[in-house]
């Protein structure tokens, strides 16, 4: 995490869920008054049955950045089931500025803290999508005086647009691929062998024939993914939908 972020050691009610992917930052205000604290917000969200404070990071009026849920965990800052914000708690970093910026200007120091953490998160994940809570919900949050354009411009300034991740699209799997007698042949087997080779699973000759070497390579590939904690199903040398999909990563 970023060295300037303060950790108040907040205790959460149960394990937080790590995000599987991160595509955007959502900016909030608390709409609270003076005297509001991170611990107070945490207690309030706990009281509402949440695991704890809904935000990943909090920015205090003096510019101090405080760890909420932390960088890598799912938040709870938007309605995860409403159509406009569906699933966004699972792929966004939520940053909140303490204060009511529907009615008040933001102190300069707080603006600086907000810009810094927003930029660092954006650069850490190589993301350019930065939105306000009100962009996806019927709310004033983060308020009309929230310096959104300034924060966003700063966070993305001079940052090269990240190239889209070159992920091969997954072709359809029309049958499970496995060692049979006679052996399976076809373009799908060849594709699988090519992917196995890319993953260094040593399928041997790329010949479109599912033989012993292909089966052994599939088992090696499955075992390696299993060791990484992936849900691969059985290590059986059979390419079903799960193994097929992961082959294309």
* Residue 208 to residue 214: CA distance in whole angstroms: 10
**Could you give the CA distance from residue 152 to residue 169 in angstroms, rounded to a whole number?**
32
- 25 belongs to the binding site for Zn ion (CB under 5 A): no
Q: Which lies closer to Zn ion via its Cβ, residue 5 or residue 141?
A: 141
Give whichever of 40 and 211 is closer to Zn ion, judged by the CB atom.
Answer: 40
Closest to Zn ion by CB, 133 vs 152, is: 133
Minimum CB–partner distance for residue 195 and Zn ion (Å): 42
Nearer to Zn ion, 54 or 188 (CB): 54
Among 10, 58, 141, 217, binds Zn ion (CB under 5 A): 141
Burial profile 77-115: b = 16 or more Cβ within 10 angstroms, e = fewer: bbbeeeeebeebbebbbbbbbbbbbbeeebeeebbebbb
Closest separation in Å from C-beta 133 to Zn ion: 3
Lookup: tokens for 97: 């500025």
Q: CA separation (Å) from 220 to 150, 195, 225?
A: 51, 13, 9
CB atoms inside a 10 Å sphere around CB 239 = 27
Examine residue 28 and tell whether it contacts Zn ion (CB under 5 A). yes
- Please, which of residues 78-137 interact with Zn ion by CB under 5 A? 133
Q: Which stretch binds Zn ion (CB under 5 A): 114-122, 139-147, 165-173, 199-207?
A: 139-147
Count of positions on this chain that bind Zn ion (CB under 5 A): 3
Name which of 131, 128, 109 is nearest 119 in CA terms: 128
Q: Least separation, in Å, of the C-beta of 58 and Zn ion? A: 12
Q: Which of residues 47-76 bind Zn ion (CB under 5 A)?
A: none
Residue 38, token pair as written in the block: 């991170």
Interface contacts to Zn ion, rule CB under 5 A: 28, 133, 141
């Amino acid at each position: 995490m970023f060295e300037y972020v303060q950790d108040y050691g907040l205790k959460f009610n149960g394990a937080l869920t790590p995000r599987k992917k991160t595509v955007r930052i959502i900016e909030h205000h608390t709409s609270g008054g003076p005297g509001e604290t991170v611990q107070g917000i945490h207690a309030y969200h706990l009281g509402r049955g949440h695991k704890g404070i809904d935000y990943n990071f909090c920015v205090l009026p003096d510019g101090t950045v405080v760890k909420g849920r932390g960088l890598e965990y799912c938040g709870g800052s938007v309605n995860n089931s409403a159509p406009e914000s569906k699933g966004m708690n699972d792929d966004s970093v939520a940053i909140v500025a303490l204060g009511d910026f529907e009615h008040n200007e933001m102190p300069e120091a707080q603006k600086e803290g907000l810009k810094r953490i927003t930029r660092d998160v954006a650069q850490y994940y190589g993301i350019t999508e930065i939105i306000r809570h009100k962009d996806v919900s019927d709310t004033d949050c983060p308020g009309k005086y929230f310096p959104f354009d300034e924060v966003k411009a700063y966070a993305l300034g001079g940052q090269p647009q990240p190239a889209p991740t070159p992920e091969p699209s997954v072709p359809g799997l029309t049958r499970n691929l496995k060692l049979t007698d006679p052996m399976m042949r076809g373009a799908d087997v060849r594709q699988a062998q090519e992917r196995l080779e890319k993953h260094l699973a040593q399928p041997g000759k790329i010949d479109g024939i599912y033989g012993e070497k292909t089966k052994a390579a599939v088992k090696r590939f499955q075992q390696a993914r299993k060791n990484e904690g992936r849900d691969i199903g059985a290590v059986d040398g059979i390419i079903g939908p799960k193994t097929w999909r992961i082959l294309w990563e």
